[in-house]
Amino acid sequence: MNLQFVSSSSVVSRETGSELGGALVGVPTGSAPAWPVQRVVAPLLGANAPVVGETWLTDQLMTSGHSEGIAWRRSNGLLYGVIELDEHDFPATEKASPLQAASEEAYRRIFRLLDAEQLPYLWRVWNYLAEINVETYALERYRQFNIGRQDAFLECRRGTTGNVPAACAIGLAGGPLSIAFLAGDTPAVPLENPRQVSAYNYPADYGPRSPTFSRGALAYLPGQEILFISGTASIVGHQTVFPGDVAGQCRESVANIQAVIGEANRLGRSGPYSLTELSFRVYVRHAGDFPVVRETLLPLIGNAEIVYVQADICRHDLLLEIEAMASHLLEGS
Ligand code: 3EB
């Protein structure tokens, strides 16, 4: 079995029948593809098309489904799903804000689906929510999301430290809570960053509950190793560094990615990964910073495949966040 990641500005017309799922990043035009797709509605920066399709292809498609409000497709050992919940459908209670309740419900449904499909291992999660830095119900919305997410992990008897999925959590201008995920029938190897405190051990300064994600993950399919690098920002220890300095934040984020790559190379089974072979998605808070971001990253990551998007980052002082992935074939298989 093989999983392939392709990025294209004409994804819908290039249908091959082997699409597991994917994302449409940008301002969607035309009709949606037939496979589960996460719409990341946010302006692309420096692109020559309004939307880019990022699609996971597999040579062993099996079934599609729509259950628990999740659009999903699976192959033998692999499942991609997308859930969108409108937090307005969740009344505020004494215990939880609408966003917290929606976040908890989304993750509970994901875990129920994965249990039912017997693909229990969550590898990588893409989280998007509106107005991520806005405070409502006396708490920043990202922090509300973190409570709901962690509660679902606890209720579904999943650990909230150590073997947790790679992830990103990004703010969009509007739209529903949108969560896409890749899961498999074998556990991923979680990666942490020696330069950073693990997010699940962040102190309470960053919210009543720590975020439940790893800095990266190595996932395995027969003959293949996939490296996921979580959303990575200018954080050292647990603190933001270079506040107000977008070029400094670029360099520090790349240093953090390099550190996660170092862990992947220490723990992985394939040859070493290098920065320039990765596919990147870069979220830039202020569109006006884009030229500086591009010029700062160019000498560091060269001609790598990069999609730039204007979006909000989960701490008000973070000006950008970078996520990445790569795939290696395993020898002797
Ligand atoms: C950080 O390192 C930056 O809550 O799932 C990056 C990746 C971040 C994932 C998440 C948050 C998440 O804390 C923010």
Residue 192 catalytic? Answer: no
Structure tokens at 255: 């240093």
Residue 147 has pLDDT above 80, yes or no: yes
- Measured CA to CA, the distance from residue 213 to residue 200 in angstroms comes to 7
Structure tokens at 126: 């893409």
Rounded to the nearest whole angstrom, what is the distance from the C-alpha of residue 144 to the centroid of ligand 1?
14
Residue of the CA atom closest to atom 14 of ligand 1: 314
- The label of the residue with tokens 């996939």 reads 226
Give the tens place of pLDDT for each residue, 23-36.
999 998 777 888 99
Give the tens place of pLDDT for each residue, 150-172.
999 999 999 999 999 999 999 99
The tally of domains found in the chain comes to 1
Give the tens place of pLDDT for each residue, 90-105.
999 999 999 999 999 9
Domain span at residue 321 reads 3-329
Could you identify the atom of ligand 1 that is nearest to the CA of residue 127?
5
| Catalytic, out of 263, 321, 323, 331 | 321
Residues with CB under 6 A from ligand 1: 127, 167-169, 199, 211, 213, 230-231, 233, 235, 314
How many residues does the structure list for the chain? 333
- Measured CA to CA, the distance from residue 333 to residue 319 in angstroms comes to 43
Rounded to the nearest whole angstrom, what is the distance from the C-alpha of residue 321 to the centroid of ligand 1?
9
Rounded to the nearest whole angstrom, what is the distance from the C-alpha of residue 31 to the centroid of ligand 1?
31
Q: At 104, which CATH number?
A: 3.30.1330.40
